[in-house]
Every structure is written in structure tokens, then in C-alpha cells.
Amino acid sequence: MQAAIDAAVGALARTTAEDGRISTTRLDEHQTVAYDLASLASAVAAARHLLGYGERGDHEAALALAYAADVAVDLQSRVAGRTALWGLDADPLTGVADALAAGRDPQLASSIAETVLVNGEAGPRHLGEELEMVRQTFRRFAEDKVVPVAEEVHRHDRDIPESVIAGLAELGCFALSIPEEYGGFSAGGEDELLNMVLVTEELSRGSLGVAGSLITRPEIIGTAILKGGTDQQKQTWLPAIASGEKMCGVAVTEPDHGSDVAGVKVTATRDGDDWIISGVKTWCTFGGRAEYLLVLARTDPDRSLGHRGLSLFVVEKPSFEGHEWRAEQEDGGSMDARAIPTIGYRGMHSFEISFDRWRVPHRNLIGEDDGLGRGFYLQMQAFANARLQTAARALGVMQSALEFATGYAKERHVFDTPLADYGLNRTKIARMAAVIAACRVFATDVARRLARGDADAALGASQLKQLSCRMAEWVTREAQQIHGGYGYAEEYTVSRLFVDARVLSIFEGADEVLALRVIARTLLTDALRA
């Protein structure tokens, strides 16, 4: 499969190159193939990582084989009828018919499901003692504090209870990626981001909207400050974030500019020692409760500069409850906000915020003078970690769905037979487990590569995010289907998981944008340079 991906990448790179670089215009003329190629490259990368996991035991080997077979079938379907467009001259799976048949064998799926049905776990995690202790600590917290309030928050679109926020602050949840010198727990080492992944997965297993996403915004803001902030800014902001004293929100997206941040219209105009911010931001999650907003604004009026005219500010504001709020300054500056009603991912509340001459001190420009025009770059560096964290959120949602699916399948009888005994349901459960295992192993690798600062880690984070978030939609759909009619009823948790999963392929890099503008472009550029 990797050979087919490499051949297709080479062919598309040659087709879309212009003057030694990948042309965005030419790439856009081949969006369908580029999207399929990027998506498959992400899936094949996960399958490759699962090979080592498959050497750890019989169940692990079965999961690896089943997942690889599913990816192979996906490859066949995407290439069918488009062989020439992929730069291929033959069936990409020639010579692997026996392996494909073995991976697609319903008996293999049944044996996988037999193991998974015992406790709802996809497979052994093979974590060290310290990492397992972290995971179990946050699993207990999620069971004790998050799960009991999750349905109430979702059904009535409540605010996240302060008891959850305070409890997570006490456990050091917001300090995971902040260095020790600023009050955090990060001491370096390749497992520091893996801790964040495990914590996020367990909290998201309890509830994506109540707890699973609380780390994301501190992760983004903290990384931006660490990468570009002055020493004084780090000393001022990071300890307050690490302790949970200050909650965070991110205001990057605008009504007419989502992933196209180069088109940002919100302006920041210099006025002495201050900047005056005006314009509208949207999809600012947790923007009411947050006391720090990371705002991307245009500081250079020359719009021809595109992303080079953008800078990042830490905007301080009061904390507000509820779905609407207004903040005012003595000199007339104001912020007005309303929450955007959503089908899922409730509790965090995503706001549209209108800034009207909101005054911000120059000292709140990340990097101060050195930060002018660097906002886009700092944001992108911060989003690599955020994409890893979003993939972990998807894993938590998938794990919860698998547990509810297996539990219901064992309890529910149809025609005097447990749902778990039907071959089709066993195949569903096996495939769900294989997907989760693949994404989990991939996440472990990406977390360690990011922590080491590997050059290809950002691409891996984008691939992982794209794959796991798409798969979360499919896994929760299958879990809901196993529940039958009850899966559509709000009284069953699986219905919440289904609507929560839908947002994952949209935020922190929409699926299509990640595929075309990040993954495909990076693969093609690397091919040109090779």
C-alpha cells in the first residue's frame, strides 16, 4: 500500500509542480484525487505504526491484520476507475490477495470481538507503570465527576460545573505542557505530550463537552506564549494558566474566514502604548468563561501582506456564565457575545464575539515588538499540539462508544439471541476495535515525535487528527446502530456521542483543509525535494 501511495504522490507532484514548487492553483484542479490520496496516506501511516503493536500478542496481531485489510479495501475503492490519475498502471494490491482474504475473514472478526466483548477495550495498551497511573487517575475523575453531570449539561446546554474545573485544576490538568519553571509539570522527555494524550482521552471518554476539551485552549495559548512570548509575558501568563486560575479561549476564526486565516479582517490599530481591536470573531469556544482570549488580528493595514500582517494578542476579560455577555471598558471599548446553538459539544459554548474599539496594552502583544507579523506562525506552531490533543479527544469518544456498544450487545436479546452473538455485530465491534487500536498507536508515536521536535511531527499530527476524527464519526455511528431505535433516543448516551463526534472533523483544522492544504501539499512538496 505504501508503494501505491508513493507512486501516486510522485505522479501528482509532477502534475501540480510549477517552477519547482507545488502550485496551489494546479493542486486545486486535482482536489478529488488529492483528498483521497491524503486520506489514504493517513490511514496507511496508522497501519504501518500498528505493525509493531501486532508483534506483541495474538489479539494485537489480529487487530493489525484486520485494520490493514480495511485500509486496503479503501485503497481499492478510491483507485477504481482512476488508476491513471493515481499514476498507477496496475492493481495496487497485486500479490496480497491471501493476506487481504485473511484480514477480511468474518472468523477473524469474530475472534477479535470475543476478546473485545469482555471489557470493551480495543486491545492491551502496553503502557509503562507511570503512564498507566496517570490514565487511571483521570479515568477515576471522569467516572466520579464528569459522567454524573454529562447528560444534564448536554440536554440542557448548561455551563460546565465549576466543581469539574476546580477538580481538574487541582489534579494539574492545565499544567501538563507548561514547563516546571512556570508552575507546570513539563520537565521534558518524549512522554510529556503522551501524558496529555492519555488525560484527554480519559476525560473525553467521560464527556467531550464537559471535560475533554478543557485542555485544548490552554495548550494552544501556552504553546504560543512559550514559542513567541517575552520572558516577562511567560512569567505573567503561564503560571496563571498552569494553576487553572485563568481559563482560556481562542479567537481566530471569523464569519467569512475559517481555515483561511490569511484573510483575517479583525484589526488591531496602534494607539500609543495600546492597541485598539475591532471586528468579529466566531466559534470562540469557552469564550464566556475564559479570562484570557488568544486573538489573531491584523496589525499591518497592508492587506497584500496576507498572513505576514497578523499578530497574536492575549486579551484579558472578565469571566461570564451563560449564553450571552457583554464587557465594557471605561473609555468606551466593548465586547458583545452570544453563544452559537449547536447539535452537540455542549457545555463549552462557542461564541461569536464582536470587538468594538477594545483597548489592549502593547505588553499583551505576544512577543511585543518582536511579535509583530508573527501571529500566523505562532498560531500554526501551537496548532500542531492542538491537533494531537483533538485526536485524543476523538479517541476518548470512540472508546466510550465501543464500551456502550459492547455492553448493550451483551445485554440486549433479539429473537432470543444476544446481539453480541450475531456475526454482523461481531464484525462491527471488531472493526471498531481495530480503528481505535490504530489511532491509539499512531497517537503515541506522534506525541513522542512532537516532544522530540522531529521535523515530520507536524505532518503526523495533521494525519492523525484527520484520520481519528473521521473515524470517530463512523465508530459512534456503528455504536448507535447496534443500539437500534434506542440509539436515537436521548436517554441513551450513545446518541450524545454521535452528535459530539460530528464536530471533531470541523474544528482545529477542517477535514478537507487538512487533507488538501496541509497533508497533500506537504507530501507533494517532500516528493519534489526528494
Distance CA(315)–CA(292), nearest Å, equals 6
Catalytic residue among 202, 254, 403, 508: 508
Joined together, the cell numbers standing for residue 206 give 467521560
- Assess whether 201 carries a catalytic annotation: no
DSSP string of 26-63, one letter each residue: HHHTTHHHHHHHHHHHHHHHHHHHHHHHHTT-HHHHHH
- Mode of pairing for the β-strands spanning 248-251 and 310-316: unpaired
Give the Cα-Cα-Cα angle 459, 382, 362 (nearest 5 degrees). Answer: 150
DSSP string of 412-423, one letter each residue: -EETTEEGGGSH
Distance CA(495)–CA(40), nearest Å, equals 28
Distance CA(180)–CA(50), nearest Å, equals 34
DSSP string of 122-172, one letter each residue: SS-----HHHHHHHHHHHHHIIIIIHHHHHHHHHHTPPPPHHHHHHHHHTT
Return contacts of 228-234, CB within 8 angstroms, 24+ apart.
228/312, 228/366, 228/367, 228/370, 228/371, 228/374, 228/378, 229/366, 229/367, 229/371, 230/367, 230/368, 230/370, 232/363, 233/314, 233/363, 233/366, 233/367, 233/368, 234/182
CB 210 within 8 A of CB 393: no
Q: Which helix (H) or strand (E) holds 17?
A: strand 17-18
Distance CA(129)–CA(353), nearest Å, equals 45
Q: What are phi and psi of 242, to 5 degrees?
A: -60, -40
Torsion on CA atoms 6, 8, 10, 11, rounded to nearest 10: 160
Joined together, the cell numbers standing for residue 122 give 480495543
DSSP string of 277-333, one letter each residue: EEEEEEEEETTTT-SEEEEEEE-SS-GGGGGGGEEEEEEE-----SSEEEEE-TTS-
Q: How many CB atoms lie within 10 A of CB 340?
A: 13
- Mode of pairing for the β-strands spanning 274-285 and 292-298: unpaired
CB 160 within 8 A of CB 210: yes
Q: How many CB atoms lie within 10 A of CB 416?
A: 5
Q: Look up residue 508 and give its DSSP letter.
A: S
Residue positions annotated with a catalytic role: 508
